[in-house]
Structure 1
């Protein structure tokens, strides 16, 4: 895709090869529908051959980074194998395209992040979060396995005990706690999040680029070793979309009521 083809991403070239990418669906807290999901997978392939880009900063428009999947669309896929497989393949592409891009990515997490949005935020090479920003991997709350990125990455970032705590409970973390346990790189007051990300990107953009890129490539072999875990989690999440717990979890969320999961009746 060319930059002008993107409908829900904005682009701003900055000095020293920095590209600011803004997820732009603020009226929905930048929630991910089918088009945006595809764009979050494709953008890393677009910037890869662009000689004007050395470092990418990604943030969200308005008061959220990205509130995760648009559940009004996801509920339509329940029990339908082809849409669910397609969604899973794109989930893999989002993370793998970020990992395989040698150019550094910095996420400026300016507000809530969940689901696919949190996958983008934490698949970045450096993550800077607002102190009061709240994040969660809430897959289990809607009746599906955690399948976006977390089972591959969180044990490496914050250790297996904390990963299990937050992925099995789907509890919310704020920016301070996310930094404390090592889930993100840095925590800042909200007004400093994007400026800090841009300043850091500018510094990296002025360093020798091939050593930067090859250092990232080598570091990401830690993640590549864990890739089978990620693939399995996406497959299990897809299978869960065929089960009654997923329908109940999604319907309960949209109806703003407590779920009555079939598997615990």
Structure 2
């Protein structure tokens, strides 16, 4: 690995094929949960990739049985208690989405097992998303007690329509790999044992293709996402506002205690 990526110590970065770079969430013991340092690296790495002339395509996956379990409890607790952390994470959450959208290189995701939070941002914003049959896609923001932020508002309605987006984002119901393909949330669903081979093969095909044509097509298509920028910006701001409230504290406590949350009956909105 070149020195260009030496600063990225929380992500596993390799070159599995010619002109293809792979990013692996590599904390399998915690189902690849994302802490503060990993969140920062995941936000910044897309600019590094965009500037790397040796990379023509990217494939992203998770080590072990999960793609990513999302933010770890320490990070979520810091968001509920520390205004400075909320502002830092808010900026990063916006930059993460826009950095992926603006990265000129095509991105392929291989979604294996649970996919939640910031990991799910990459999984669904990838230009080609491939899920294994055992994939379990969950946007759990409202269950945690905050508005559906991350990439939910910018990408879910465009992929699967407003009706399905509202159903899954408001209820936090899980979506299997097969159901995700059926409703258009992902590009493909394949058998688990074929997931990596399919994703890497797709990335390799893209890396060997007509680069200007592929990158210009991605840029033009992503104007659909850029046009949703105001709605996305509002969602991330409301998400961070929620972390300062009682619902988020109860949601975090319920997650830790593995119980159903008992949210306050009174709504300040």
TM-score, scaled to structure 2: 0.95
Q: How many residue pairs were aligned? A: 265
> SS of the residue aligned with 2:239?
helix
Alpha-carbon distance between aligned partners in 1 of 2:44 and 2:179, rounded to the nearest angstrom:
31
2:23 is matched with: 21
1:134 is matched with: 136
In the TM superposition, residue 14 of structure 1 has moved relative to its aligned partner by 3.4
2:219 is matched with: 217
In the TM superposition, residue 79 of structure 1 has moved relative to its aligned partner by 3.9
In the TM superposition, residue 81 of structure 1 has moved relative to its aligned partner by 1.6
Paired residues for 1:114-125 under 5 Å:
114-125=116-127
Q: 1:170 aligns with which of 144, 169, 172?
A: 172
Which is further off, 14-23 or 86-95?
14-23
2:230 is matched with: 228
Alpha-carbon distance between aligned partners in 1 of 2:16 and 2:260, rounded to the nearest angstrom:
46
Q: 2:246 aligns with which of 198, 220, 244?
A: 244
1:158 is matched with: 160
Query: What are the ranges of 5 or more consecutive residues in structure 2 without an aligned counterpart?
Result: none
Alpha-carbon distance between aligned partners in 2 of 1:190 and 1:264, rounded to the nearest angstrom:
44
RMSD, aligned CA:
1.3
1:70 is matched with: 72
In the TM superposition, residue 5 of structure 1 has moved relative to its aligned partner by 1.6
Return closer, same or farther for 1:72/1:164 CA change in 2, 3 Å cut-off. Answer: same
Return closer, same or farther for 1:249/1:216 CA change in 2, 3 Å cut-off. Answer: same
Q: 2:42 aligns with which of 22, 40, 43?
A: 40
Paired residues of 2:79 and 2:244 also in contact (CA < 8 A): no
In the TM superposition, residue 24 of structure 1 has moved relative to its aligned partner by 1.0
Alpha-carbon distance between aligned partners in 1 of 2:79 and 2:129, rounded to the nearest angstrom:
31
Alpha-carbon distance between aligned partners in 2 of 1:120 and 1:226, rounded to the nearest angstrom:
17
Residues 75-111 of structure 1: CA deviation (Å, up to 9, x unaligned):
1331422111111111111111000001100001112
Matched, 1:3 2:31: no
Paired residues of 1:30 and 1:65 also in contact (CA < 8 A): yes
Paired residues of 1:103 and 1:213 also in contact (CA < 8 A): yes
Alpha-carbon distance between aligned partners in 1 of 2:109 and 2:197, rounded to the nearest angstrom:
12
In the TM superposition, residue 20 of structure 1 has moved relative to its aligned partner by 1.4
Paired residues of 2:78 and 2:85 also in contact (CA < 8 A): no
Paired residues of 1:147 and 1:234 also in contact (CA < 8 A): yes
In the TM superposition, residue 188 of structure 1 has moved relative to its aligned partner by 0.5
Alpha-carbon distance between aligned partners in 2 of 1:98 and 1:255, rounded to the nearest angstrom:
34
Paired residues of 1:56 and 1:103 also in contact (CA < 8 A): yes
Paired residues of 1:138 and 1:167 also in contact (CA < 8 A): yes
Query: What are the ranges of 5 or more consecutive residues in structure 1 without an aligned counterpart?
Result: none
Q: 2:194 aligns with which of 182, 192, 195?
A: 192
Paired residues of 2:25 and 2:61 also in contact (CA < 8 A): yes
